[in-house]
Amino acid sequence: MRLLFLGDVYGRVGREIVYDLLPTLRDRYKLDFVIVNGENSAGGFGISEEIALDLYDAGADVITMGDHCWDKKEALIFVEKYDFLVRPVNFANGTPGRGTGLYKAKNGAMILVVHALGRVFMPPRDCPFMAVEQQIEQCSLGQMADAIFVDFHAEATSEKMAMGHFLDGRVSAVVGTHTHVPTGDAHIMQGGSAYMTDAGMCGDYDSVIGALKDEPLNRFIYGRRMGGFKPAEGIATLCGFAVDIDDKTGFARHCSPLRIGGMLQDQLPDFWVE
């Protein structure tokens, strides 16, 4: 089974490269399932209902959110309308939406998608480790789920790596989001789970993690706010993580970063055969 995950979609140019390339990638490489993190897709902060539907129409089977998921207040309402939207699972009880979902892939496999927020350098949340474990115990790999994918939206590299080791041998893949820079550590762990610390963003890399450079530089150099962050609107790079999952075991056989366009060097998974 071929699964593609696309990292944080940032602003208009991030959306447009997903709209332009994802339909072709799905068809050309016969992808069975696609997950997109869309939490920065609306001007860098949150996601709108229109954008969520456009990403879904472009080929996303599931859209994960993140710490900015309520930046557009309308999301508190429309998140209940669409099963393909997954907000962090470790929000407080009673929070609108769902933190996990079981979905049917194109090849008929049932995929559990779990999304969690880290706690290091992030606002206080319930424990992501216990929250994710509860979900995979209720819908374990090889029983109710043919594959399990975890999007761990966290700031600290150490916390993401710890989550990977915590879940190794119990899920198909653990991929980090939030820091917007693709890491070079995509690999299959000892227990058979695919891992990458950060999938990167879909956006303009001639920026500061997606934003125009002037305001971040003002804050770093002078410690002052001169305005808000605005998305950079140069040529975008599509960044993500591809994994080939064994249909019998639910564990990863191959995994690789994916990068297309913009400033970064292109990389297509070598195990994708047309």
For 189, what's the count of Cα atoms within 13 Å in the CB-facing half-sphere? Answer: 21
Rounded-to-integer distance, Cα 178 and Cα 174, Å: 14
Residue 165 CB contacts under 8 Å (≥ 6 apart), including other chains: 189
Query: Is 165 among the residues known to form the active site?
Result: no
The total number of residues written for the chain in this structure = 274
Q: Where are the alpha helices (DSSP H) in 111-182?
A: 128-138, 157-167
- Catalytic-role residue among 68, 115, 153, 180: 68
* Beta-bridge mates of residue 3: 33, 243
Strand-strand pairing, 100-104 and 110-117: antiparallel
Rounded-to-integer distance, Cα 210 and Cα 14, Å: 9
DSSP 22-88: HHHHHHHTT-SEEEEE-TTTTTTS---HHHHHHHHHHT-SEEE--TTTTSSTTHHHHTTT-TTEE--
Residues catalogued as catalytic? 68
